Amino acid sequence: MIKHYYWPTPNGHKSAIMLEEVGLEYQVCPVNVLEGEQFDPAFIAISPNNRVPAIVDLDGPDGKPYGVFESGAILLYLAEKSGKLWPQDMARRHDAIQWLMFQMANVGPMFGQNGYFQGYCPEDVPLAKKRYQDVSNQLYGVMNQRLATSEYLAGEDYSVADIATYPWILPKQREMHRIDIAIYPNVARWADTIAQRPAVQRGLASLSDSMKVGNPTKTTYDNLFGGSQFNR
């Protein structure tokens, strides 16, 4: 049994989809980031940077409970544990790792900053908006070029790299990031293919009505972006 500490954010979606894809038994343990539950000491003991998702595998290495934080690390752990979505060939495996690192180092951080300045920043900062939208479009271009000659990001097989990236390409994310998907037809084809996977649909459905920020209150804003993050 895996305890899945989760809220339906783009990073949270990664582990939710992965758990459905690999078929391991799990229990959803909601961590309401809007209400500040990520700052609970019991959760921080599992996820030191107070971010979702995190997991605790009750049957971990040597049969002992084992916690994993950081979404990319969770994907790798679940892939190794299940033996699924994890190429055995060394070159193909490292293709998947490289594109997973591309998501972790580039897509997530840059798209996240784009979304913040476009949708949540209390001040209008045109330079920041342009900077992060330009970088987001550049990253879409990298993926579009890759997917012109490859069915999936890491090659011809669906992998952890696709699971890591897809939640950041969802329509609601593209709208927030001011991305015109028509400019990137290969990314659009790839996203449409992944959207049809039943496990992806089940993963995205988990707590799907919960992450509705809208116009955040001061408390919600502080929990997501502000003082609550920095004053603990």
Superfamily assignment of 2-84+208-230 in CATH? Answer: Glutaredoxin (3.40.30.10)
Buried b / exposed e along 171-206 (16+ C-beta atoms within 10 A): eebbebbebeeeebebbbebbebbeebebbeebbeb
Q: Which CATH class is domain 90-196?
A: mainly alpha
* Residue 58 identity (one-letter amino acid): L
What is the number of residues in the chain? 232
Cα(28)–Cα(40) distance, integer angstroms: 17
pLDDT digits (tens, 9 = 90+) for 19-45: 999 999 999 999 999 999 999 999 999
Cα(167)–Cα(3) distance, integer angstroms: 21
Cα(167)–Cα(104) distance, integer angstroms: 12
pLDDT digits (tens, 9 = 90+) for 103-142: 999 999 999 999 999 988 889 999 999 999 999 999 999 9
Domain coordinates in residue numbering, the chain: 2-84+208-230, 90-196
pTM, rounded to two decimals: 0.93
